[in-house]
Structure 1
Amino acid sequence: MVGSDRRTGFSRRRQAGVFLGYVLAVAGVVVGAALLILSTFNPPLFSALRMSVATATTPVASGVSGVGQAIMSVPRAIGTYFFVHSENARLKRELAASRALLTRARTINYDNRRLRALLQVRDRAEAPVLTARLVASTASSTRRFALLNAGRFHGVRPGMPVRGPDGLVGRVVETGPNAARVLLVVDPASVVPVRRTRDGLPAIVAGRGDGAVDIRSVNTTEVQFGRGDLFVTSGTGGIYPPGIPVARVVAAGRDTVLGRTVAVPDTFDFALVERAFMPLPPPPPPLAIAPPTQ
């Protein structure tokens, strides 16, 4: 025979390999059956054996796990490098744009202060009267009031604005010796003159009685309101100081849109009571009536 037959039956080495495989398989079955019988009839001994095997194999498993994590970290590190590089470039671009905006804001602020000096206009920034606790509010009624635990004895007077950490809450309408009643911005009787922060558009924030407000344009029609537009007090009317956040537009619309107040009285305990921005002058004294001459 010219060629040699390489099949398993004609090769002693392959026969020995197949026989060894059979022996290992049978041995594995026997060992598995023995472990199963041992775990069933002698659980403590099986538990000790299992822990001994785990103790012996833990260092090897830890080394293999470390090598695997090291290998897996290579593509992650490469991806992180490229991500950090692109993120760094993006942050540099944003920083350059922010510097330009900051320079523009500083220029506008300088011009504003210079014009105010020329017009002899001064800002009214008086110290607040006090900080009081909001002890109650009418959230389930169509009339929306809150109660302060401070009154006339603490210097609180009707007409004083009340604000929270986020924005305007309302104004004081009634005072007692140790308490004051606050008309909330969401009350139907509340009307607050405001302006839009992005362009100074004048508007009115009127309460609806259901926890929301209406934002209405003033003296103009076909005014477009965008979602998220922020409105702050304008100072018109002399009650509220300018610049206090009042409400945001919920949905875009024209002329009159739905808004939500920035400050929610139910979410905080304390409020700041301030003096009216331009308090009304006291009434003139009554004219003395001369007695009739005889």
Structure 2
Amino acid sequence: MGLVGGMLVAAGLLLLSIFNPPAFGAVRGFFSEITTPVASAFTWVRTSVAGVPEGVSSYVNVRGENARLKKQIADNELLVERARTLNQENRHLREMLKLHDVSTDAVVVARLVASSMGSTRRYATLNAGGWQGVKAGQPVRQPDGLIGQVVETSPNTARVLLIVDPESIVPVRRTRDGLPAIATGRGDGLLDIRSASVATMIFQPGDTFVTSGTGGIFSPNIPVARVIRTSRDIAVAQPSANPDALDFALVQATFLPDPTPTPSPKPSPSAKPKAGKK
């Protein structure tokens, strides 16, 4: 019945198109209005379904490219940081070599390979020792200021007592008037400055201190510290050379060499007694 009905409708439309073209045009427009949205919907669905694999592929490619670019940025940042660190080390080394060239008492420029920062005892280790001329008692410094003093040596290493250690004592003088003082470590990265005389010394924030040369160990005029706050007759000072950013250091000979021991006189040979006459 459906096939016969369809054939009758088709025949009717054929006759209508032959004998009454305007009416056939109206019927055709009516059916177009009905079928066009349906056809458009099917076309959109077909196009969307066909574009799904391409969209998924594009998403995967974009995500992979994004991950690759992030990794490249991270690698570039690491390279930039390494370049900055290397440039800073090279700058410090050039400053140390320049200081070595102008110093008349320089022993060796060495790298500080270890430092005790986690306790109140503050030591550092140099990668130079007795074979490079380093001896116990010698001062260690940077261009910015004094670092400490060698306390132990081995053939290729040396242990340095930093000036911020509580056992460190450095004779200093104030630069603006030359008044003598003593700088001792606090164990917390700072220094205490005390008067070296019985008279009370008035300290002021900003006062700077350098080595005085007293004691014959440290050469005069090496920067040591700057006062940051005061408390009665004691001032708290910041070291001129930052102990937490040490890389290279210059070992110097002691300011006054050890006195040459006076040789003891050799005993004169005693005279042999003459043989008596028989």
Verify same fold: TM over 0.5.
Answer: yes
Q: 1:251 to 1:285 in 2, by over 3 A?
A: same
Question: Secondary structure of the equivalent of 1:150?
Answer: coil
Q: Report what 2:240 is aligned to.
A: 262
Alpha-carbon RMSD across the aligned residues, in angstroms, is: 2.1
Matches within 5 A, 1:29-178: 126-178=104-156
Partner Cα separation in structure 2 for residue 284 and residue 143 of structure 1: 38
One of 238, 246, 252 as aligned partner of 1:274: 252
Partner Cα separation in structure 2 for residue 167 and residue 159 of structure 1: 17
Q: 1:232 to 1:293 in 2, by over 3 A?
A: same
AA in 2 matched with 1:262:
S
Deviations 1:79-108 (A, max 9, x none): xxxxxxxxxxxxxxxxxxxxxxxxxxxxxx
Q: Report what 2:45 is aligned to.
A: none
Q: Is the CA contact (8 Å cut-off) linking 1:164 and 1:265 kept in structure 2?
A: no
Q: Report what 1:232 is aligned to.
A: 210
Deviations 1:48-86 (A, max 9, x none): xxxxxxxxxxxxxxxxxxxxxxxxxxxxxxxxxxxxxxx
One of 199, 224, 247 as aligned partner of 2:225: 247
Q: Report what 1:187 is aligned to.
A: 165
Q: Is the CA contact (8 Å cut-off) linking 1:226 and 1:253 kept in structure 2?
A: no
Please state how far the C-alpha of 1:189 moved relative to its aligned partner: 1.2
AA in 2 matched with 1:134:
L
Partner Cα separation in structure 2 for residue 218 and residue 244 of structure 1: 18
The alignment's TM-score, normalised by the length of structure 1, stands at: 0.54
Please state how far the C-alpha of 1:142 moved relative to its aligned partner: 1.9
Q: Is the CA contact (8 Å cut-off) linking 2:112 and 2:247 kept in structure 1?
A: yes
Q: Is the CA contact (8 Å cut-off) linking 1:126 and 1:275 kept in structure 2?
A: no
Larger radius of gyration between Structure 1 and Structure 2? 2
Question: Secondary structure of the equivalent of 1:231?
Answer: strand
Please state how far the C-alpha of 1:165 moved relative to its aligned partner: 2.2
AA in 1 matched with 2:138:
M
Deviations 1:203-232 (A, max 9, x none): 000112222111001114332100011100
One of 193, 209, 226 as aligned partner of 1:215: 193
Partner Cα separation in structure 1 for residue 230 and residue 151 of structure 2: 33
Q: 1:273 to 1:140 in 2, by over 3 A?
A: same
Q: 1:254 to 1:176 in 2, by over 3 A?
A: same
AA in 1 matched with 2:259:
P
Deviations 1:235-285 (A, max 9, x none): 111111111110111113432121121112331310011111112213344
Partner Cα separation in structure 1 for residue 130 and residue 108 of structure 2: 12
- Quote the sequence identity (%): 58
Runs of 5+ unmatched residues, structure 1: 1-124
Deviations 1:99-133 (A, max 9, x none): xxxxxxxxxxxxxxxxxxxxxxxxxx624111000
Question: Secondary structure of the equivalent of 1:260?
Answer: strand
Question: Secondary structure of the equivalent of 1:200?
Answer: coil
Question: Secondary structure of the equivalent of 1:158?
Answer: coil
Please state how far the C-alpha of 1:293 moved relative to its aligned partner: 9.0
Please state how far the C-alpha of 1:287 moved relative to its aligned partner: 6.0
Please state how far the C-alpha of 1:195 moved relative to its aligned partner: 0.5
Q: 1:285 to 1:247 in 2, by over 3 A?
A: same
Q: Is the CA contact (8 Å cut-off) linking 2:189 and 2:243 kept in structure 1?
A: no
One of 156, 175, 190 as aligned partner of 1:197: 175
